[in-house]
Amino acid sequence: MRRTLIHNATIVNEGRSVQGSVVIENGLIAEVLTYGKEPSAPCDEIIEATGCCLLPGVIDDHVHFRDPGLTHKADIFTESRAAAAGGVTSIMDMPNTQPLTTTLDALEQKFDLLNEKCIVNHSCYFGATNDNYTEFNNLDKNRVCGIKLFMGSSTGNMLVDKTNSLLNIFNGTDMLIAAHCESQEIIKKNTDYYKEMFRNATDIPVSKHPFIRSSAACYASSELAVRMASLAGARLHVLHVSTAKELRLFSDESLEDKHITAEACIAHLLFSQQDYKVLGTRIKCNPAIKRQVDRDALRNAVNTGVIDVIATDHAPHLLSEKEGGALKAMSGMPMIQYSLVSMLELAEQGIFSIETIVEKMCHAPAKIYGICKRGYIREGYQADLVLVSHGERWEVNADNILSKCGWSPLEGNTFRWKVDKTFANGHLIYSDGQVDETYRGEELRFNY
């Protein structure tokens, strides 16, 4: 059996950074060697990693790969290429596609597409509607990552806004419920207000987007979700928390003791309201990017354990679909390729430690979702690994963007960190700018 040695890296894992080496064999981490320990047997290949950091592969619990039905802007193959280049080895895809992943047939079709086209490991959510909760008991809990609940407006029939339906969902499953929380009632009221203010304009300026999809809209919905989950004893994961006020709803207790967890997304950790002046609708997303005080509170919550996971909400659109303002421009942006290096850049600035980044992007998703044998550098675990280096600055530009939409809100930004190599199941899927487009990742499995 072929053995590969990643030699003399700084291994960042489980809260510490230590010099060492890792042996990959048969798709697994066969040996983790620290304090000068040598491999137990000769290795067929040696990858010299002196000066590099070896991390577990990133697990992104929140992506929109747009497949099926919206493939003019992205598809599973193109976006998993971008994931591999970004050090992301596992993804969980959202259900607001065409058709919606809200029936068992559509779910099977989604899995077929993922197995056919996805370069990285994968699962997908089953989307809740006002009336499909009776299907939850028919889901394979070892295969489906969770239930996606849109408590804010979304595509098609996925807005769940009936109290009885919410009660049925929260009381109807022991699976993880991942919720998008924004109050549609408050959003509508705010929209009407700004439509009247700009009644002679063709659209509302994008700078008003965070006032339309306001902090109050986020808090009201998140508070309702937390209250319902608490009463039902449900397992709730609140996605893309965007406000300082919402953080009051969550605990800093040990992750193992939590039934209610919170996610922050890359865009909300990087950008603030003032960035609309330069980036405009390129950073328009739902929930909206808000004040700098919100961004800074989110960063602090990552460090204190109130925020449990960092994800991307990778949601590509064509630039032509981003034209307009707060009403007409589509919400969402491609983020997956540069998510890890963006967070490592914040570590460079002293905002996070590299150990915290690994906890929030690798370990915590594995814990929260109960992912089998991934998310850590441990012997016997799948060899999902990313090798990163720190050197000369490089720039995000059209030549290195792999997402199908061909743009990034980070264009023109420079980074000193870069992803050198990404391994999925011991297979080298990305190396020095090249993706192995022939490889297909594995389905994730979950412990229930």
Taking 90 as the threshold, does the pLDDT of residue 422 lie above it? yes
Q: Tell me the pLDDT tens digit for each residue of 341-383.
A: 999 999 999 999 999 999 999 999 999 999 999 999 999 999 9
Distance, in Å, from the CA atom of 131 to the CA atom of 160, rounded to the nearest integer, reads 9
Find the DSSP H helices in 330-420: 339-348, 354-358, 364-369
Distance, in Å, from the CA atom of 286 to the CA atom of 319, rounded to the nearest integer, reads 17
Query: Taking the domains of the chain in order of start, what are their residue ranges?
Result: 3-55+379-393+412-435, 58-369
Chain centre distance of CA 248? 22
Helix (H) or strand (E) holding 59: strand 58-63
* DSSP letter string, 230-252: HHHT--EEE-S---TGGGGGS--
Query: Among candidates 47, 90, 1, which has minimal Cα distance to 387?
Result: 47
Distance, in Å, from the CA atom of 384 to the CA atom of 121, rounded to the nearest integer, reads 9
Distance, in Å, from the CA atom of 448 to the CA atom of 147, rounded to the nearest integer, reads 14
Residue 162's pLDDT band, with cuts at 50, 70 and 90, is: confident
Q: What angle do CA 63, 64, 66 make, to 5 degrees?
A: 150
Confidence at residue 158, expressed as pLDDT on a 0 to 100 scale: 81
Sole residue written with tokens 């990693």: 49
Distance, in Å, from the CA atom of 293 to the CA atom of 288, rounded to the nearest integer, reads 14
Taking 70 as the threshold, does the pLDDT of residue 155 lie above it? no
User: What are the backbone angles phi and psi of residue 77, rounded to the nearest 5°?
Assistant: -65, -50
Taking 80 as the threshold, does the pLDDT of residue 24 lie above it? yes
User: What are the backbone angles phi and psi of residue 59, rounded to the nearest 5°?
Assistant: -110, 110
Distance, in Å, from the CA atom of 7 to the CA atom of 47, rounded to the nearest integer, reads 6
Average pLDDT value over all residues in the chain: 97
Confidence at residue 1, expressed as pLDDT on a 0 to 100 scale: 74
Distances (CA, A) of 359 to 211, 350, 416: 33, 16, 21
> Regarding beta strands 309-311 and 260-265, do their DSSP bridges make them parallel or antiparallel, or are they unpaired?
parallel
Tokens at 266, concatenated: 């890359």
Looking at residues 237-250, what average pLDDT do you find?
A: 98
Confidence at residue 152, expressed as pLDDT on a 0 to 100 scale: 72
Taking 60 as the threshold, does the pLDDT of residue 197 lie above it? yes
Confidence at residue 448, expressed as pLDDT on a 0 to 100 scale: 74
pTM of the model: 0.97
Distance, in Å, from the CA atom of 176 to the CA atom of 259, rounded to the nearest integer, reads 9
Confidence at residue 154, expressed as pLDDT on a 0 to 100 scale: 54
Residue 157's pLDDT band, with cuts at 50, 70 and 90, is: low
Residue 446 amino acid letter: F
Tokens at 296, concatenated: 């800074």
Q: Which fold has domain 3-55+379-393+412-435?
A: Urease, subunit C; domain 1 (2.30.40)
Residue 63 amino acid letter: V
Taking 70 as the threshold, does the pLDDT of residue 88 lie above it? yes
% pLDDT > 90, the chain:
96
Could you say which of 3.40.50.1820, 3.20.20.140, 3.40.50.300, 3.40.50.10860 is the CATH number of the domain covering 58-369?
3.20.20.140
Confidence at residue 156, expressed as pLDDT on a 0 to 100 scale: 54
Looking at residues 147-155, what average pLDDT do you find?
A: 80
Sole residue written with tokens 């997402």: 403
Residue 114 near residue 93, CB atoms below 8 Å: yes
Confidence at residue 141, expressed as pLDDT on a 0 to 100 scale: 97
Buried b (16+ CB within 10 A) or exposed e, 41-69: eebeeebebeebbbbbbbbbbbbbbbbbe
Taking 70 as the threshold, does the pLDDT of residue 400 lie above it? yes
Tokens at 312, concatenated: 């991307």
Helix (H) or strand (E) holding 338: none
Buried b (16+ CB within 10 A) or exposed e, 291-322: beebbebbbebbeebbbbbbbbbbbbbeeebb
Q: What angle do CA 193, 211, 337 make, to 5 degrees?
A: 135
Q: Tell me the pLDDT tens digit for each residue of 34-65.
A: 988 999 999 999 999 999 999 999 999 999 99
Confidence at residue 144, expressed as pLDDT on a 0 to 100 scale: 98
Determine the 3-state secondary structure of 323 from DSSP.
coil
Higher pLDDT, 219 or 153: 219
